[in-house]
Amino acid sequence: MAQIEVLTEDARWTDAGLPALADLACNAALAELSLDADYEISLLACSDVRVAELNTEFRGKPTPTNVLSWPSEERAAQIPGMIPRLPDGAPHEMELGDIAIAFETCVREAEEADKSLKDHVTHLLVHGTLHLLGFDHINDPDAALMEGLETRILAKLGIEDPYRV
């Protein structure tokens, strides 16, 4: 079971119940991949302004986005569409990385998609956790793998497929 350390810079996340959602979503992603060691994830609960600063600094994109992830190490698969090198519970692999999530963007996207904020944020936290584990969506085979995992994880949590048109 992962230990999720939540740093709340925007108090609206507390009202939205982010710590409980993070515990549920991140651990569901790890469980789907049979990762049951005491992994650690740091989560920054912030505003669009803060995420835009981070997005500018780390990705060169001066705009807010819903979620950003920084894996503690490179785990990507060498072949598109294959499972990344997952952590094996070794002491040096316990810290999976950091996630930042932006309040205003999440609220807007949930409203635009006619979804609850809870369901949308749960999806984004599953998505961010998978990024920490080396999954990505840069190319079609990797996107199919990652989206399939997200859909399965969310279904187990009673959340509809976010990719269904």
Nearest-angstrom CA–CA distance, 37 and 60 = 34
Residue 31 is inside which H or E element, if any?
A: helix 18-32
Decide if 164 is inside a domain: no
Q: Report DSSP state, residue 143.
A: H
DSSP 59-126: HS--S--SEEEEESS----SSTTSPP----S-GGGSEEEEEEEEHHHHHHHHHHTT--HHHHHHHHHH
Q: What order do you get walking across the sheet with 3-8 strand by strand?
A: 3-8, 40-46, 95-102, 67-71
Segment (H or E) for 22:
helix 18-32
Residue 164 DSSP one-character state: -
Q: Tokens 């060691």 sit at which residue? A: 37
Q: What percent of the chain has pLDDT over 70?
A: 100
pLDDT digits (tens, 9 = 90+) for 8-22: 999 999 999 999 999
Q: Is residue 163 part of a domain?
A: no
Residue 104 located in a structural domain: yes
Does residue 165 have a pLDDT over 80?
no
In this prediction, residues 42-67 reach a mean pLDDT of 97
In a domain, 161, yes or no: no
Give a yes or no: residue 52 inside a domain.
yes
- Measured from the Cβ of residue 13, the count of other Cβ atoms closer than 10 Å reads 25
Residue 123 annotated in ligand binding: no
Domains: count for the chain: 1
Is residue 22 one of the residues assigned to a domain? yes
Residue 154 contacts residue 32 (beta carbons within 8 Å): no
* pTM of the full structure: 0.97
111 in a domain, yes or no?
yes
pLDDT at residue 90 greater than cutoff 90: no
Residue where the block lists tokens 């932006």: 102
For residues 147 and 113, give the distance between their C-alpha atoms in angstroms, rounded to a whole number. 17
The answer to whether residue 68 is domain-embedded is yes
Tell whether residue 120 is among the known ligand binding residues. no
pLDDT, tens only, 103-153? 999 999 999 999 999 999 999 999 999 999 999 999 999 999 999 999 999
Range of the domain at 43: 3-156
CATH of the domain at 131: 3.40.390.30
- Does the annotation flag 131 for ligand binding? yes
